[in-house]
Amino acid sequence: MEGGGGEEGVGKFLNWATNIGITDAPLDTLDLEVPSLSSSCLGKSLFISEFPDAGGRGLGAARDLRKHELILRVPKSALMTSESLMLKDQKLSMSIKRYPNLSSTQILSVCLLAEVSKAKGSWWYPYLKQLPRQYETLSSFSNFETQALQVDDAIWATERAVSKAEMQWKEAVPLMRELELRPQLLTFRSWLWSSATVSSRTLHVPWDSAGCFCPVGDLFNYAAPGMESFSSEEIASWMQTSTLDLEISSSSKNTSGEELDVECIDGDSQRAYCFYARSRYRKGEQVLLGYGTYTNLKLLEHYGFLLNANTNEKVFIQMEQKVNISSWPKDSIYIQHDGKPSFALLSALRLCVIPPNHRKSVGHLAYSGKQLSAENEISVMKWLRKKCEVLLAKLPSSIETDGLLLTFIEKMQNRPSICEVKKMITTCEVEIEIFFESTNSETLGEVCELGLSNKARRSIERWKLAVQWRLRYKQILSQCFSFCGETIYFLSAQQDSCVL
């Protein structure tokens, strides 16, 4: 995902942001600040930079930052919401009232397109100009990219996302016609852009479930919550607001030094979205934000990216009908990112592999996470190992092939030489052929010489995400397979030594 507008656009955007009161000045200097046309709202705590391995354009620490320090303040008047847009546009406000069945996210998507339609006439023009031009969220996946996910659940989730977007677009078209938006803004493609902008960039506000656009505040890239538990404090570098993640907070403090609570009152100029450093940062480090707890598929669905090291990644396991897991919610039955079974999966399996008439007497042990016996544990591990083996065997490509395919895709993104590519193509010939067909690409020789067409360049990024997703899925199953094998070996050896 690339931000639009180029360097010049970013400069204009930061000037605009400064003039509307956005600032990264430390709290103790805020009262002394006199906004000037030439100063940038950034530079005192944060700076914009490219972080190629973690989200592209993002915000870095302009100096060493202390834990809990206020590092960015965006006044309420600078937040773009359906409400603030309607206040400035009577036609928009009147028309929206005639469509009470549209959801808050549909309304914000329409409001965004209506603002884009005004081009330079929009008060938000400098902000709109630097928004990304395209997104890789699941709703924009073509059939080829969807099938590249390989796993049924992921394919269904993508098909659902595409049809939901289409339905929401159809419902919103009459309103957009009434608003006389430019024809190109009425298309499904524009809708995908607008709804993905809402999905991937809005921050929570208490008065609108669609959230708000928060200029500059929406430049923070993402770190998964949970990373802090097994890495140093440098990596645990996301932000918090005064309450939970991304809660709007008052900029002022009451006399006891506690932050005031969160209600936003119209007309109260003190109200602002405040970002506080969640841990210490060294100068130059990227400052990251925890948007929430997401599996890779959810990250793809809402934000159009995934993390290779995502501690919240899960491989959900479907149990056969005859296995009774009714005591556990379905979404608690999974293999964790490190290949180990979840608490619920392990407990459910421990009960499943013993005869039904014995279950009642040991149920309390299983539900409290205790091993029932070495034999029982070995049976559980054998069941799970078989499950992983079957799931892996069902998929059309192996871990090794996917690894090679990713190398091929990365090469294709960087103008490869034809010899290089020809050598690699034998690995996954069929899938590569379908990619060329689905993007109406020329022959391989021409692609190597002239580069990929625009259509192919857009598609290859999503294809890469699909292959990365399925590879991670397979790696987790494979790790679980090994974990089960090691546990069986260990328990069997223990049993043998007891017999001796």
Ligand X SMILES: C[S@@+](CC[C@H](N)C(=O)[O-])C[C@H]1O[C@@H](n2cnc3c(N)ncnc32)[C@H](O)[C@@H]1O
Closest approach, Cβ 240 to ligand X, in A, equals 16
| Contact with ligand X (CB under 6 A) among 124, 193, 305, 435 | 305
When binding is defined by CB under 6 A, the residue of 4, 11, 29, 54 that contacts ligand X is 54
- Burial of 322 by CB count in 10 Å (0-12 exposed, 13-18 middle, 19+ buried)? exposed
Q: x/- string (CB under 6 A) for ligand X, residues 126-165?
A: ------x---------------------------------
CB of 13 to ligand X, least distance (A): 11
Size of the site for ligand X (CB under 6 A): 18
Rounded to 5°, angle at Cα 21 from 17 and 22: 55
Verify binding: residue 472, ligand X, rule CB under 6 A. Answer: no
213 binds ligand X (CB under 6 A): no
- Give the residue with the Cβ less far from ligand X, 42 or 219: 219
Q: Which is nearer to ligand X, 4 or 35 (CB)?
A: 4
Considering only residues 83, 89, 115, 218, which one is a binding residue for ligand X as defined by CB under 6 A? 218
Please identify, among the stretches 89-97, 109-117, 301-309, 447-455, the one whose residues bind ligand X according to the rule CB under 6 A. 301-309
Does position 296 bind ligand X by CB under 6 A? no
For position 87 contacting ligand X by CB under 6 A, the verdict is no
- Pick the closer one to ligand X by CB: 3 or 341: 3
CB of 52 to ligand X, least distance (A): 10
> Measured from the CB of residue 383, what is the shortest distance to ligand X in angstroms?
36
275 part of the interface to ligand X, by CB under 6 A: no
> Footprint of ligand X on residues 162-201 (CB under 6 A)?
200-201
Among residues 168 and 200, whose Cβ is nearest to ligand X?
200
Distance in Å, CB of 414 to ligand X, minimum: 19
> Binding residue for ligand X (CB under 6 A) from 127, 141, 191, 222?
222
Piece of the chain touching ligand X by CB under 6 A; list 108-116, 297-305, 310-318, 404-412: 297-305
Q: Cβ of residue 489: shortest distance to ligand X, in angstroms?
A: 37
Shortest distance (Å) from residue 55 CB to ligand X = 3
- Residue with nearest beta carbon to ligand X: 55
User: Is residue 458 at the binding interface for ligand X, with CB under 6 A as the rule?
Assistant: no
Rounded CA-CA distance 80/112 in Å is 9
CB 59 within 8 A of CB 219: yes
Which of residues 175 and 306 has its CB atom nearest to ligand X in the complex?
306
In the complex with ligand X, which residue's Cβ is closer, 297 or 346? Answer: 297
Chosen residue from 58, 290, 339, 416 binding ligand X by CB under 6 A? 58
- Confirm or reject binding of residue 60 to ligand X (CB under 6 A): no
**Which residues are near ligand X by CB under 6 A?**
1, 3, 54-58, 132, 200-201, 218-219, 221-222, 303-305, 307
